[in-house]
Structure 1
């Protein structure tokens, strides 16, 4: 792929100031996967990400064995560490059924589960032409794996062409020391290397390599899928990518100490109101590494201490707003966790020494030197501090929506729960009905359809509030116990629905007729 490079900018550009220092305390995995794990960055918020720590450790050399390990657990949230070695491909990956899993034959399926660690051990783990799909799940760790050549067209097909993807109410995922590679762009059958959409939050990608793809990854599948947020990228190597490093639609992302090399068309693409915090990154031999591209829906960025080495910039246009060559901040972005970045000048060397699978899980000491992973004992205090982050409290007590004053008192049980449905119109999301935002909504793909709130364990509910978005035209409805199909209530339009208390894992709002386009902004649920 041809690159155009004409301008050498070796100066450090941006505004000063980075969040306060922290004693380096990212509890990283020991070789035998026995250490207690806890992620840093945004994955360390919202209660933290510990994966399968404390659970049983099992071995797997095939994709089928990975699925079997998930299905053999006592429950969907029983902690488990799966140590993977060898090549995982279509030939050794089949669907497995069970009460604690929901798997598929053409990918590693982490669906409707929690508290899982997948880690490469021994000679390493390679997922060859087989992607990893995370859906309606939480507290997932993936470490020390290679995922390569996953296709959405051609043969074999897997995971929509994404190496690792997350969608539909995903919380707290940490992908670390992994290598995600393709062998071309969309025309060659590949899509994104690291995609997040449809209500994904609290994710960290660290010490990893993304290479040789048309698309690095995205946060948000469309200009209206803006409910994905709180993502951290640090100490990663982005190499030979055409674009999306990443593409960010709405939400907040933090990029620090990454090495971007040979970005051929564009890099960090902040659009549709997104806010990118870009600290101490090294951009080299690349084009348009930061800005808003291919849209007139503006995004924003706060920059500090970045180096732009041999970077070229396009002219400003209607759908092209590069941040350079005079790179300055266009917003401010508050980061809730402390971090100590390496000096920007050493980013290429420290990333080369630590990033990717098979590098011994080495990390930076915050002073431009690689060091072995700290032990669980040495980092126990830092782990406890991250878990007690103020942002976890803020998330748990978020105001349900601007119309909450008209809602029943008590905790909105939809916040933090899962969501799914029968169908969704283009540009809408199931997760929009429980994001606490009246401006986002779900619509069925037609005049009727259903949307559900779901919980990992039986939950007692006796009231629901359906908040319609502007222009909505809900006709008749049924409120169902989604676990049994029993009708709890029926009526017309939105508003408060009361019914006899029921203990269930799923509550479904089923629209049976409409006079126009139904639009559900919020589906709030309450115990009383």
Structure 2
């Protein structure tokens, strides 16, 4: 039996609906705008998640304008970035019709569409009592927004009570640096903060702040809804939540480097055959943080590196199978992407300084420190091109590494490769062969049978491919990030003894071609 626990703190929010604002003239601001950064996790697979990158950008200050932007596209898949500023609520959100959209008046409706970014800018974007609904859609990014007090009962209602909800064949969604919050549990009219059901796959929730809710979120709406899978939760902050952080039914989830504080009833609830890799999280002042709860349909987990700080556990029962107190693993899960893994001891500080909207879009470096990304700001026109008579400053190219290329004779592997390419082509000493990922992002690794010291790599791009954008260099033995940057060429970092080094391509202008991945001791 579930114990009835009231949420400890509620900051009641009663914001009245504003008068309807129906101005739908949308300024087109700038071509080729993009979300900030690129997703890590399952959203980076299956072709990647780029949202509206490469399309036009418009500004919206009402929900109606958001819908108008979707409906004004040439097609339902035409890329678009919608910069949102101000408060979006029922009073300024109406249904808009068009061939490239399918909207509704009581929610922000992303239905039967693709290639869209919604990003908060300026003084911030707040979706007040109005949920975001994603249905039959793909390649969606939601970044730097607050969604609060969405109700399924009472007044006003929206999106079935979910702050962000996805359902019915949704693929590749990245939700990042958001606040998702309620002011109570189900009895107060709220449902989940982040719910996925009916065949949702390849999703990442990162740097989110979820708080003051009875239910954090679920993957699968019933014990038979097990088609949802490949979900990553990393560097999120859960606070004052009764349960479902998340509830998993079937599928695979990767849950790492999250900070859980005051989980009042239960936390990660793996059931109905779900498999969760739970690593390097920090659980504080909480109860039943991992296990199978409220069902006899077992779920599974692989747990490692987690810290339990004042965590209590229920006694096992017919419908209660807590993983504690030592949280031994009962399955094994292989993660198919590269990621940096902070030590659990520094997770509270890292997450408190990075998670949520309007936090400067800071992220973890993967080694217990943070890096500042540019905060999203309203787009401005590009500066004029300098006169041809005025030389532009240039940076000298890095020095070509000296010594022996350690990749020759080593092994290699990586993410999914494009047809006709091979991992071994990056270490054969020939620029006439190459490896390409299956899309614009992916990773390639060089590996040795024993520890090898490496301090420089040289990424040489073969002609004809898309230019490499942002990247990470990883110590694949530990997951530590050795270097981040953009472009190819010589990359220098602190000498590191390792058995495997990974070059992780986070963005590119097309499908990149890595002709050679050279490694050097100095």
**TM-score of the superposed pair, with normalisation by structure 2:** 0.66
CA distance in 2, matches of 1:34, 1:127: 21
Q: Deviations over 1:13-53 (max 9, x none)?
A: xxxxxxxxxxxxxxxxxxx9546753210000000000000
Greater alpha carbon shift after TM alignment, 33-42 vs 174-183: 33-42
- 1:194 pairs with 2:194: yes
Match of 2:185 in 1: 185
Once residues 124 and 391 of structure 1 are traced to their aligned partners in structure 2, the CA distance between those partners, rounded to angstroms, is 40
Q: How does 1:312-323 map to 2 (within 5 A)?
A: 312-323=312-323
Residues 1:97 and 1:354: Cα distance change in structure 2 (over 3 Å): same
Match in the other structure for 1:483: none
Unaligned runs of 5+ in 2: 9-31, 376-413, 420-522
Alignment CA distance shift 1:36-1:78 (3 Å) = farther
The 10-residue stretch of structure 1 (87-96 or 329-338) with the greater mean CA deviation from structure 2:
329-338
Answer yes or no: is 1:390 the counterpart of 2:409: no
**CA apart distance, 1:281:** 0.1
For 1:150-165, list aligned pairs within 5 A.
Answer: 150-165=150-165
Residues matched between the structures, number: 355
**What's the CA shift string for 1:229-287, capped at 9, x where partnerless?**
00000000000000000000000000000000000000000000000000100000000
In structure 1, the gaps of 5 or more residues are 5-31, 376-387, 394-528
Partner-residue secondary structure (3-state), 1:174: strand
* Structure 2 counterpart SS, 1:211: strand
* Alignment match, 1:363: 363
- Show the counterpart of 2:311: 311
User: For residues 296 and 322 of structure 2, what CA distance do their matches in structure 1 show?
Assistant: 12
User: CA–CA distance in 1 between the matches of 2:169 and 2:320?
Assistant: 31
1:172 aligned residue: 172
Preserved CA contact (<8 Å) 1:285 1:311: yes
> SS of the counterpart of 2:192?
coil
- Alpha carbons of structure 1 residues 374 and 94: separation in structure 2 relative to 1, 3 Å: closer
Aligned twin of 1:238: 238
CA shift at 1:126, angstroms? Answer: 0.1
Distance 2:161 2:418 in 1: 33
Per-residue deviation, 1:211: 0.3
Task: Tell me which residue corresponds to 1:342.
Answer: 342
Q: CA shift at 1:3, angstroms? A: 8.6
User: Following the alignment from structure 2 to structure 1, what is the Cα–Cα distance between the partners of residues 240 and 233?
Assistant: 18
Q: Give the SS at the match of 1:231.
A: strand
Indicate the SS of the match to 1:187: helix
The aligned runs of 1:297-308 (5 Å cut-off) are: 297-308=297-308
Deviation of 1:326 (Å): 2.0
> 2:293 — aligned with what?
293
Equivalent residues of 2:147, 2:163 under 8 A apart: yes
The structure, 1 or 2, with the larger RCO (C-alpha pairs under 8 Å, 6+ apart) is 1
* TM-score, normalisation: structure 1: 0.65
Q: C-alpha separation between the residues in 1 aligned to 2:35 and 2:214? A: 36
Equivalent position of 1:113 in the other structure: 113
Once the two structures are TM-superposed, the CA of residue 334 in structure 1 deviates from its matched residue by 1.2
1:442-521 alignment to 2 at 5 Å?
Answer: none
Q: 2:266, 2:417 → 1: CA distance? A: 32
Partner of 1:87: 87
Counterpart CA distance in 2 for 1:36 and 1:121 is: 11
SS at match of 1:373: coil
Aligned to 1:278: 278
Contact 1:45 1:392 in 2 (8 A): no
Counterpart CA distance in 2 for 1:3 and 1:129 is 19
Matches within 5 A, 1:246-265: 246-265=246-265
